[in-house]
Amino acid sequence: MVEGGFTKLFQERSFFRLVQKYQPLGSGEPEEETHEECELKIIEQEKEVTVLPPKDACKYHKEDLAKALNVDLQTGLSEFSVLQRRLKHGWNEFSVENTEPIWKKYLDQFKNPLILLLLASALVSVITKEYEDAASIAMAVLIVVTVAFIQEYRSEKSLEELNKLVPPECNCLREGKLQHLLARELVPGDIIHLSVGDRVPADLRLIEVTDLLVDESSFTGEAEPCNKTDAVLLEAGDITTLSNVVFMGTLVRYGKGKGVVIGTGENSQFGEVFKMMQAEETPKTPLQKSMDRLGKQLTLFSFGIIGIIMLIGWLQGKHLLSMFTIGVSLAVAAIPEGLPIVVTVTLVLGVLRMAKKRVIVKKLPIVETLGCCNVICSDKTGTLTANEMTVTRLLTSDGLQAEVSGVGYNGEGNVYLLPSKEVLKEFSNVSVGKLVEAGCVVNNAIIRKNSVMGQPTEGALVALAMKMELADIKDIYVRKKEIPFSSEQKWMAVKCTLKNQDEEDIYFMKGAFEEVIRYCTLYNSGGISLPLTPQQKAFYQQEVKRMGSSGLRVLALASGPELGQLTFLGLVGIIDPPRAGVREAVQVLFESGVSVKMVTGDALETAVAIGQNIGLCNGKLKAMSGEELDQLAEAELSSTVKDVSIFFRTSPKHKLKIIKALQRAGAVVSMTGDGVNDAVALKSADIGIAMGQAGTDVSKEAANMILVDDDFSTVMNAIEEGKGIFYNIKNFVRFQLSTSISALSLITLSTVLNLPNPLNAMQILWINIIMDGPPAQSLGVEPVDRDTIKQPPRCITDTILSKSLILKIFMSAIIIISGTLFVFWKENPNSGITPRTTTMTFTCFVFFDLFNALTCRSQTKLILEIGFFRNRMFLYSVLGSFLGQLAVIYVPPLQRVFQTENLGLLDLLFLTGLASSVFIVSEFVKLCEKRCCQPKHTKDCLN
């Protein structure tokens, strides 16, 4: 507030100094009034200057633009005008509203129903003077809450990161001088000079252009840089068609230009994305929803226990308060306080395993959400493709065809002559060699450290020459003249001569086929020039159409002594091809019930070509444009969007619309992207996945997950982890609840039926340690099953406590209770309970626990299928618990503490045989399920 007041005061003082600066000498009172009126008029004019939307600005002539923005195009704005405009429009930056304090964010973690239930149980433990229980529960809660808070706090920086894409400096014309300014100082009406390598500092309407190419891929998804012009547009389409406007955050690839600022800060196209991101909230993950439901289920279960025990006590005429105390104690014991820790540990281990596979996960629950993901919406440019233009197809003038392997600018790959697949190098084939030579010579691009300096299309031709070992061929020529490419002529040519030779000059030309062919009278046939016939021209035209329909950008190449007498050399097909491994990943995902959809700003032909190449929807493609999306009503879109596999010519608003429609249809949506145009969709998707290398800062911060190597196929590993994690959590819940229900039931039965207690307090404590300790925790780290990726994604409506899991929990609990009560009855003499009775009952229960843990390692697979030795932590913890139990039975000091006595070998064998019944029955049930029931496919989840 103070800072704002100071800024305003400073601006007012500056304004008055500027007013005084323009007052004439010896001014009298009437003149002062005249000048005051004059200054007020100027201020009014400045106040009237408004931001021009790009779709309006593109239609203005230069003079009208200067008038609308009240600026002299030759001298720029005055400092006075800048100050006045800044008062109205603010700085050219994004102001992030003050978020809630850290302490409040930390306290918000306690809103989880399961956490609240655990805190309530800790309070009851304090009231009932069970301080050790209270301390252990409180410690568990603190660990879980702190880990979750740290993870989530680090991921809440998405809006601040938008400033990183706003360039810090720019060249601006003010008061007739070209000044080097911070981009944040710009106001509407400023004149900006652009050159190669500059990031555009604000939305600009271009007024002067020289061969200007701007990379707008982060906004539009177009891999190819856009040709820019300063000509007036009669009609304004979407932002991809505004050829005389450049947008904040885009990159100048080639040429130079001059433009007038028409939009700054939040009033720019970039600002539109910013406002949409502010409005979006990250949805709750399915695991968070499942844990919330589980917390509520356990609360109801706890109150049910208290109610039943109080009712039985009241019917028996017992004191209600004492029965309530027993009921509360049992309810507290029933709550699995180890569950939040197991969930957190399981998720953290999943995150660490994924980090080894070069995937960074920013929010813990997101790991598990991947297991529910049934739709992946992927941006094309930079995600499915590498955003590196590559030559993939060659056609020589004498009809030879060749294909090119390798992606990008590293020169790796080969040129194969078709159909023989012969690898070509240098001039082993004259026709192909001459075609590649021409592409390399009529070229201004340089490749350094696997990145192109210059136009990506020209970089693709240099990379082709590298594959043919002809990259140095241009060094044998001396360039005398260059006729640069322009959008009007659609070709570029260079005039060269061979070094150290007195031969005649030679022209090399590249460009659009229909323009280049006009300058050709001959065509090359194996190194010999032959007259060009109409039939030849028709054949080339047909090939251009065929290559164009495959999504290729087609360039024609020619050479000769004069521009009107060139020899046609052939055609080159260029595309931003799919990344390595994408096709295989899409196939595996499709087979496992995950639908992959391409969402791109690119044209239909290119999108369909890539879609077919990577095998989207098994080749059954259905496409929809952004314009078609706008025409559909919300309900209609939700039913249509499921069947569409390619969305083309889409804006950030369209991407958001697609994701919301899929979510309404019941899908769990993952969005992968790398540009500013993907940021809003990444944040609103259930899982936002950004590219680590090609991704913009804003896309990385809006996402929940980052693929470090930009490898789309690692999404498969992530989904595999997500599915495995949910299964591990279910395994833990089954084990812990079946054990706790068994223990509670024994105590409840003995209390209600006035029987002697089969277990003493220390024995119950030891069982609790096993129940919440290493054997239970080790179930959470069970390695992901190899067949997991083949399983369909789970439905988000599935709860952790499903009907089948509840039945299995009660089945195990009944077997444990029955076996333990049988041993208690068998060993209970008429004279009363002896140490042998409690030792046999106690050991029986512990052995049941360990066998129960063994069968809980998988809900569907037999122990022989998953293997005894795959989870070493489980083996060590079960072995430790077994040895601990033997120590409790046979070590004299522990015998006194636990009131146990020595058991014979036959006793141990009897107990082992009896306890194994829970394992045998559970395995038999799995076998029956396997033979009788087939798993449901997830597509049922989509309404």
Burial 510-528 (b: 16+ CB within 10 A, else e): bbbbeebbebbebbbbeee
DSSP label at residue 578: B
Question: What residues have CB less than 8 Å from 43, skipping those under 6 apart?
Answer: 84
SS3 (DSSP) at 142: helix
**Would residue 379 show up in a list of annotated catalytic residues for this protein?**
yes
SS3 (DSSP) at 670: strand
Q: In what order do the strands lie in the sheet with 705-707?
A: 359-361, 705-707, 687-691, 669-673, 375-379, 595-599, 646-648, 623-625
d(CA 486, CA 492): 8
65 within 8 A of 191, measured Cβ to Cβ: no
Question: What residues have CB less than 8 Å from 261, skipping those under 6 apart?
Answer: 186, 187, 188, 189, 190, 191, 192, 202, 203, 204
Q: Which amino acid is at 22?
A: Y
- Residue 293 CB-density burial (10 A; 0-12 exposed, 13-18 middle, 19+ buried): middle
Question: What residues have CB less than 8 Å from 110, skipping those under 6 apart?
Answer: 116, 119, 141, 145
SS3 (DSSP) at 554: strand
Residue whose pair of structure tokens reads 């507290």 in the numeric block: 332
**Two tokens, residue 712:** 């789309």
**Angle 369-370-374 from CA coordinates, rounded to 5°:** 105
d(CA 785, CA 724): 7
The catalytically annotated residue of 203, 379, 678, 711 is 379
From the list 39, 14, 40, 12, the residue with the least C-alpha distance to 24 is 39
Q: Work out the angle between the directed axes of helices 835-855 and 714-752 (0-180°, nearest 10).
A: 160
Handedness of CA 106, 111, 117, 123 (dihedral sign): positive
The H or E element spanning position 46 is helix 29-48
Q: Work out the angle between the directed axes of helices 803-826 and 905-932 (0-180°, nearest 10).
A: 160
389 within 8 A of 551, measured Cβ to Cβ: no
- The full DSSP string for 188-234 is TT-EEEE-TTPBP-SEEEEEEEEEEEEE-HHHH--SSPEE---SPPS
From the list 116, 117, 120, the residue with the least C-alpha distance to 128 is 120
d(CA 485, CA 491): 5
The neighbour count for residue 226, using CB atoms within 10 Å, is: 21
d(CA 872, CA 877): 9
C-alpha 323: how far from its chain's center?
53
d(CA 616, CA 377): 11
SS3 (DSSP) at 391: strand
**Two tokens, residue 682:** 């990444």
**Two tokens, residue 734:** 């089954």
d(CA 524, CA 675): 43
From residue 538, alpha-carbon distances to 1, 329, 535, 544 in Å are: 72, 90, 5, 10
828 within 8 A of 841, measured Cβ to Cβ: no
**Two tokens, residue 755:** 């029987």
The residues that are catalytic are 379
